[in-house]
Structures are given as C-alpha cells and as structure tokens.
C-alpha cells in the first residue's frame, strides 16, 4: 500500500514537516533504484590494524573508492569501523569518535558498518567482553541516530577473521540497496564456509547471479512476501518451485509463469508434503524458503484449539517435518541452504498473538538448533524476522494504527515485501554459508524488541 505521508513530506509538505518536527522519512535506495552518483561516492574505512587495511584493499579490488581518512568537504556513501582488535572499552574511543566526526559527510541513505569480534563471555577476558558487547550497544544506538534513510549495522566475527568468505558477502549486502530496510542489526560469521563472491557477482542477475544454477523451493509463493521472494530468487538466477494451497492455484500459476518457475499446489501440513516437494524439484533441494504462514489472532482468554493448533501446524510444525524428512531421505543437496520466516512478534511478543508469537519464536529456536546438522552438509539454515511490511494484510489495519506502526522505526516507514526477499536471497547465497543458525531482523530497527 502506498505511504502517502512519505510522498507528502518529500514533496509539498517537506518544509512544514521540518518546522513542526514531524517524522521525515525519505525514499530508500533499493536494488535497481540506487543513483549512480551515490554508488560513485567513496567509502571511509577506519581502524589501525592490519584487518582494516586488508578490508580497504578488498574494497579497492572490487572497484570502490576508498578513503582511510576523512577529507574536508567530501561526501561519503559509507563508513566502516574495523574494531576487531579491541581489547577493552577504552580502546574504542578514537575510532568511534572518528565515526561521529564523519557522520555529517554521509549522503542520504548512507551506511555505517562496524566489524568486531562476537561477544563471548565464556572465552573473552572481562575487558574484551566489555568491549565487544559495548560495540553492539554503540551500533544499535547509532542506528537510532541515523538520518535521511541512513542505517548502521554490524558484522560479528565468531572464531573467524576478516578473510572469511561470508564477511565479504555480508559487507556487500550491508553496503547495498539490498539491505535498505535493515538497521541496528548484526550478521554473525561463524565459519570459513561458503564461496567468496566479488561485489560484481553479488550484484549480478540472471545467469550470472549469485543463485544461478540452483533450485529454490518457496512455500506460500502465490502472493505478498512469498511472491516477492520467488521473483527475487529468480532474478538472482535460481529456478523457483513455488508451493501454495490449491485455492491459491491461479495466483501461484501467474507468479510462476511470470518468472519461468514451476507451480506445486499442496497443503504443507500434509504428511506427504516433503515427498511431493522433492518430487516436484526432481533433484536434491538446493534452497528451501519456509515462507508459508497464517494468523488466527485472538486474546488467549478467547483462544480455541482450532485457532491455536492451525497456526502451530502451518507456521512451525510443517517446517520441522519437511526439514526432517528431506534430511533423513538425503533429499537436501550438498551445501543446501534453508531460510525461514520468523517475525518480530516472535522476538518481542504481540498482544492478541500468543499463537503466532509462539510459532515464530519456535522458528528462531528451530533455526538455531538445526545449524550444526546443516553445517555438516556444507550448508546453512537461517531465519528472517520482518517487522511492519506493507502488504495486503497491513493495508486492512485501521488507518491511524497503520500510520503509527509505520513511524515506530528508526527509518520511520514500513518496509516493502522486496526488503524481506532481498535478505532471504542474501542468506540463500553461497557467499553466506558462513552465517548459520542466525535470525536477521528486517524491520527498519523497529522500536519493538531489541
């Protein structure tokens, strides 16, 4: 649904909104709509260690303009703060203050990315644990301070260094329009698995795209976020098998015909759903996206078994059953990657959604617990937790409620289905296999939850 307020404050009411101190969201730079002038702006890399210079060299090798020191009057597209060697909170001061001094040089939709060791109280000294945890607080707080569509996110190194392949892919994602609605979040790289993708390969499409030659099953693909996921995976080179209920067959066929995919009509809660999916693919499954989900909202005092059980069956039980069957039958390809749809409701809870929040929190738990088994096959499993996304469902909300929900994020607007799809495409790529068992929020840093 169109956000009329966003259009007005970027048009005839811009000065009025500024004068009255009203929210001033801006149109975000997304994949395919990022101005060339923006892409030509330099990236400032801050940090004194060898890792910072190595990262600067990586950016240069991939055709980006790089600065190691801010230059007076020069506009920047991004600031990268490399803090991987921080051993105590007192060591953070020089670099974070450099970030602060350079913030006004960022153009609209600019990026800040911090790179640091993952917090680990069990293996780090008290000083180092304080520093690594402090960096997460710094990054999240900075994300709340960003203006004009800017975002701040972090890459956490868990037992790996900056040369891990997924560090590069995480960086390409966070610097690009593919992460337009991701802010205040962290991507944890925990292994050297995956393929090192160049920036050109990461941003390519079709036969040269990062998913070229791979099959991708998307459940709930007939409309909304599921259709956007299917379109994006096809854009990035995957052959998509779209799955949805028979009653959505016409809409599903329309989407699959548009992208050259294959339609499969079935109920994912059926006992033989995994077998039918594997049969439709005709080969071991490379990518599986669990998008299908339902809501049956009621206050718990008024909840009946039908509402509770149906949401659990579709949103989480079907995922566990399908994953287990494909794994036990050897129907996952080597390097297979699974991405599941969670929700910010599963992180923070939501009034009237105890069943839905239970199911989506369950997705997060399933994802974390399944990571090791997927890594043994050279693959990964992750989840994406959307916040307020402009869909047919949110369009039915009362107008005032919808407006409030849109402004309750650092980006002061709702996300688009494509924002969720971009995160899923990234996590399904070979360059992201070193990210495993994680849940990435796509919520514009919504004020609800961490």
Cβ neighbors of 192 (< 8 A, separation 6 or more) are 160, 164, 165, 434
pLDDT of residue 398: 74
CA distance 174 to 182: 8
Question: What Rg value do the Cα atoms of the chain yield, rounded?
Answer: 22
Bridge partners (DSSP) of residue 46 are: 81
| Buried b or exposed e, range 175-189, using 16+ CB within 10 angstroms | bbbbbbbbbbbbbbb
Cβ atoms of 168 and 59 within 8 Å: the answer is no
Res 450: pLDDT? 47
pTM for the full predicted model: 0.94
Q: How many CB atoms lie within 10 A of CB 199?
A: 19
Q: What is the pLDDT of residue 449?
A: 52
What's phi and psi for 218, nearest 5 deg?
Answer: -125, 115
> What does residue 79 show for φ and ψ, rounded to 5 degrees?
-125, 130
d(CA 431, CA 108): 28
> pLDDT digit string (tens) for 312-369?
999 999 999 999 999 999 999 999 999 999 999 889 888 889 999 999 999 999 999 9
Q: What is the pLDDT of residues 106-130, one digit of tens each?
A: 999 999 999 999 999 889 999 999 9
HEC profile of the chain: CCCHHHHHHCCCCHHHHHHHCCCCCCCCCCCCCCCHHHHCCCEEEECCCHHHHHHHHHHHHCCCCEECCCCCCCCEEEEEEECCCCCCHHHCHHHHHHHHHHHHHEEEEEEEEEEEECCCCCCCCHHHHHHHHHHHHHHHHHHHHCCCCCEEEEEEECCCCCCCHHHHHHHHHHHCHHHCCCCCCEEEECCCCCCCCCHHHHHCCHHHCCCCCCEEEEECCCCHHHHHHHHHHHHCCCEEEEEECHHHHHHHHHHHHHHCCEEEECCCCCCCHHHHHHHHHCCCEEEEEECCCCCCCCCHHHCCHHHHHHHHHHHHHHHHHHHHHHHHCCCEEEEEEEEEECCCHHHHCCCCCHHHHHHHHHHHHHHHHHHHHHHHCCCEEEEEEECCECCHHHHCCCHHHHHHHHHCECCCCCECHHHHHHHHHHHCCHHHCCCCCCEEEECCCECCCC
Q: Which residue has the tokens 């015909």?
A: 257
* Residue reference for tokens 């060898």: 50
Domains of the chain: 31-189 (3.40.50.720), 205-442 (3.40.50.720)
What pairing do the DSSP bridges indicate for beta strands 151-157 and 186-189?
A: parallel
**First-to-last CA distance in the chain?**
27
Beta strands 380-386 and 151-157 are: unpaired
* 356 belongs to the catalytic site: yes
Which residues of the chain have a pLDDT value below 50?
450
**8 A C-beta contact, residue 169 and residue 199:** no
Q: Is the Cα torsion angle 271, 429, 220, 369 positive or negative in sign? A: positive
- CA–CA dist 355, 357 (Å, integer): 6
Spatial contact of 172 and 411, defined as CB atoms under 8 Å apart? no
For the beta carbon of residue 133, count every other beta carbon within 10 angstroms: 17
């Amino acid at each position: 649904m169109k956000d009329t307020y966003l259009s007005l404050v970027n048009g005839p009411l811009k000065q009025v909104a500024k004068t009255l101190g009203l929210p001033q969201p801006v149109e975000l730079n997304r994949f395919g709509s990022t101005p060339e002038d923006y892409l030509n702006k330099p990236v400032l890399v801050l940090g004194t260690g060898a890792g910072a210079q190595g990262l600067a060299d990586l950016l240069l090798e991939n055709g980006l303009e790089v600065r190691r020191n801010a230059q007076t009057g020069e506009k920047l597209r991004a600031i990268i703060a490399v803090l991987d060697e921080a051993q105590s909170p007192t060591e953070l001061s020089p670099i974070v203050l450099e970030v602060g001094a350079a913030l006004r040089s960022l153009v609209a939709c600019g990026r800040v990315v911090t790179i640091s060791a993952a917090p680990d109280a069990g293996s780090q000294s008290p000083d180092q644990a304080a520093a690594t945890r402090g960096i997460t607080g710094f990054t999240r707080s900075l994300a709340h301070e960003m203006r004009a569509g800017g975002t701040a996110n972090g890459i956490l190194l868990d037992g790996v260094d900056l040369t891990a392949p997924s560090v590069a892919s995480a960086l390409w994602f966070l610097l690009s329009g593919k992460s337009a609605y991701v802010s205040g979040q962290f991507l944890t790289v925990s292994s050297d698995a995956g393929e090192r993708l160049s920036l050109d390969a990461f941003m390519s499409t079709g036969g040269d795209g990062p998913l070229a030659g791979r099959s991708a099953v998307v459940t709930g693909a007939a409309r909304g976020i599921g259709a956007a996921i299917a379109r994006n995976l096809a854009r990035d080179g995957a052959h998509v098998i779209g799955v949805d209920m028979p009653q959505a067959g016409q809409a599903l066929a329309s989407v699959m015909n548009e992208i050259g995919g294959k339609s499969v009509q079935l109920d994912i809660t059926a006992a033989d759903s995994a077998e039918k999916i594997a049969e439709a693919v005709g080969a071991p499954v490379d990518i599986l996206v669990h998008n299908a989900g339902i809501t049956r909202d009621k206050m718990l005092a008024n909840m009946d078994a039908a509402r509770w059980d149906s949401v659990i069956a579709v949103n989480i039980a079907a995922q566990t059953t399908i994953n287990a069957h494909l794994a036990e039958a050897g129907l996952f390809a080597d390097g297979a990657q699974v991405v599941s749809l969670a929700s910010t409701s599963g992180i923070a809870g939501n009034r009237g959604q105890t069943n839905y929040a239970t199911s989506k929190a369950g997705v997060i738990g399933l994802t974390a617990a399944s990571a090791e088994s997927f890594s043994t096959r050279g693959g990964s499993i992750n989840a994406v937790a959307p916040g307020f996304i402009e869909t047919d469902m949110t369009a039915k909300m009362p107008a005032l409620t919808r407006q409030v929900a849109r402004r309750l994020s650092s980006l002061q607007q709702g996300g688009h289905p494509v924002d969720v799809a971009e995160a899923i495409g990234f996590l399904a790529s070979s360059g992201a296999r070193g990210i495993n068992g994680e849940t990435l929020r796509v919520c514009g840093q919504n004020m609800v939850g961490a």
